[in-house]
Structure 1
Amino acid sequence: MRTIKLTIEYDGTNYQGWQVQPQGSTIQGVIEEKLSVLTGEKVHLIGAGRTDAGAHASGQVAHFKTESSLKVLTVQKALNSLLPSDMVIRKVEEVDENFHARKSSRSKIYEYRVLNETVRSPFQREYAWHIPYPLNWGEMKRATKKLIGQHDFSSFRSAGSSTRTSVRKVVRAEWKGSRDGLIRFEIEANGFLKQMVRAIVGTLVEVGKGKISAAEFQGIIESKDRKEAGPTAPAHGLFLKEVKY
């Protein structure tokens, strides 16, 4: 039995997220279906992260087990020929049998894109949250620093999450400007709660609007109460950028 690792890029606009659902098309479901055609086996694909409906990935990682003797380059070329144009397999590797896309990861990096301009962009409508009013980026950056370290992130945990603990370690969190007019929030942690990044971004935007101070943001983290935090940012601005092993 071989273990095959995939690095995947996808536009999640037309999908109900990564994980297979009873209704609607998902990234996992589409790739599993094509892998089954390719290998002649029933394939179960395990992803490093479960992106939400409408969210994207430039560096999702997944693995599956197979008895197939197909070469990894053949798998990549054949799979890409079968997949729809809004997803692609960037890399295929044969890895150790103990490799697990989620459990073996050391950290994940997510990126959230904000278009902070008066006029919206038709080209970014599915890939960035358009915020047409001014934001206090200095105060947002000060609040962002409060995320660094190990904390209980219950204040940014979506209802219905079944994880045993809400404690996560954030090793990096920062806002970056760019020439294309987008402001990018990038965060790296050893794990993330359901909709955690989107809840953090939504709350930081409230800081930028002047409704919450950086000091109050610290209090929100310490409260461990989702009701104290801001709204959940739209899914379409979120990208799973990289998984580290």
Structure 2
Amino acid sequence: MKYFGLVAYCGTRYAGWQIQPDDLSVQQCLEEAAAKIFRTKVGITGCGRTDTAVHSSSYFFHLECPEQSELHRTVRSFNALLPGDIHLSELIPVHEDAHARFDATRRTYRYYLTGFADPFRQDKVFFFRQLHLCDFSMVLKAAEVIGGGEDFFAFAKSGSEVNHHRCRIDEITWYQLSPKVWVFEISANRFLRGMVRLIVGACLNNGLGKITLEEIKEATADQKRLSMPWSVPGHGLYLADIKYPYIPDKLSENSRFFEPFGPISKSI
């Protein structure tokens, strides 16, 4: 029987989602828990990669295991075995052809940064010392330019092995939870490796006057690297939502965890 799992995790201690030979990963923790519950090795396939220190408030995976008559008990068993920074909210029966990665129609990421040092969120948000020098209106304009593109070679990590760099961006914006707390949000059908962090860096560099809108337009149109590419730190990034044609939106909304500043309000 195939099931989708909905999990949230704090990525601070992990070398990303995917199993690594010498480092701890979220996938490894889930597979080890599954092996104990089902008493056999169980492969778990995630909806995508997240890098070292990146978090997720809504991450889907799939697994195949014997049919579970009481899913709430199985969920409870997982959480009893998982570390406290990983929490399984739901197990959902799906059809045999369902795939957590390939069937996702939309993914949403958020990036949090502050203009002040916060000892309680130091590994959950990016403390950007130059935030007070950054022109928010120019940051918004950069996002608008980038969102109008179709090929994102300029915002792919060097050495990425993909067939093409085309993505469909559905939404891209910045907003302020307060003058010193900024949030970037982007939704697309797919993302390239390192893409979100490079886009955030480009927007901030434009706000600081280190690169121009014209350079961003040229890089997007001509598929060339920016003169000052900046991949912001991973610990401010959250995979916030995944959409599937057969998973109700209400499910993910009811099972989600709040990110570092609680429920999102897009105005000061």
Q: What does residue 104 of structure 1 align with? A: 103
Q: What does residue 236 of structure 1 align with? A: 235
Tell me the CA shift for residue 220 of structure 1.
2.1
Q: What does residue 126 of structure 1 align with? A: 123
More displaced stretch, 62-71 vs 130-139: 62-71
Paired amino acid for 2:154: S
Tell me the CA shift for residue 68 of structure 1.
4.4
Partners of 2:74 and 2:113 lie apart in 1 by 36
Paired amino acid for 1:182: V
Structure 1 moving runs of 4+ over 6 Å: none
Partners of 1:197 and 1:7 lie apart in 2 by 22
Paired amino acid for 1:79: F
Q: What does residue 151 of structure 1 align with? A: 150
Tell me the CA shift for residue 182 of structure 1.
2.2
Tell me the CA shift for residue 160 of structure 1.
2.4
More displaced stretch, 23-32 vs 128-137: 128-137
Q: What does residue 159 of structure 2 align with? A: 160
Q: Against the structure 1 CA distance between its residues 166 and 93, is the aligned structure 2 distance closer, same or farther, given a 3 Å change threshold? A: same
Partners of 2:237 and 2:183 lie apart in 1 by 10
Paired amino acid for 1:243: I
1:109 and 1:187 in contact (8 A); partners too: yes
1:139 and 1:213 in contact (8 A); partners too: no
Paired amino acid for 1:187: I
Partners of 1:219 and 1:125 lie apart in 2 by 35
Tell me the CA shift for residue 121 of structure 1.
1.1
Partners of 1:77 and 1:215 lie apart in 2 by 53
**When the two structures are superposed, what TM-score results if normalisation uses the length of structure 2?**
0.86
Partners of 1:151 and 1:102 lie apart in 2 by 21
Tell me the CA shift for residue 228 of structure 1.
3.4
Tell me the CA shift for residue 204 of structure 1.
1.0
Q: What does residue 217 of structure 1 align with? A: 216
2:29 counterpart of 1:33: no
1:8 and 1:87 in contact (8 A); partners too: yes
Q: What does residue 266 of structure 2 align with? A: none
Paired amino acid for 2:96: E
Partners of 2:158 and 2:172 lie apart in 1 by 24
In structure 2, the gaps of 5 or more residues are 245-268
Partners of 1:72 and 1:181 lie apart in 2 by 43
Tell me the CA shift for residue 98 of structure 1.
1.2
More displaced stretch, 122-131 vs 173-182: 173-182
Where do residues 45-84 of structure 1 align in structure 2 (5 Å cutoff)? Answer: 45-84=44-83
In structure 1, the gaps of 5 or more residues are none
Report the aligned-residue RMSD: 1.5
1:41 and 1:66 in contact (8 A); partners too: no
Tell me the CA shift for residue 150 of structure 1.
5.2
Tell me the CA shift for residue 213 of structure 1.
2.2
Q: Against the structure 1 CA distance between its residues 229 and 92, is the aligned structure 2 distance closer, same or farther, given a 3 Å change threshold? A: farther
Partners of 1:44 and 1:146 lie apart in 2 by 41
Paired amino acid for 1:177: Q
User: Aligned pair count?
Assistant: 242
Q: What does residue 173 of structure 1 align with? A: 172
Paired amino acid for 1:128: V
Query: Which whole-Å deviations, capped at 9, do the CAs of 1:148-202 have from their partners, x for residues lacking one?
Result: 2451101011122111111111010011211494211000000000010011111
Between the aligned residues of both structures, percent identity stands at 29
Query: Which whole-Å deviations, capped at 9, do the CAs of 1:110-158 have from their partners, x for residues lacking one?
Result: 001111x2x3111221111111222111011011011224511010111
Tell me the CA shift for residue 225 of structure 1.
2.2
Partners of 1:145 and 1:202 lie apart in 2 by 14
Partners of 2:218 and 2:228 lie apart in 1 by 10
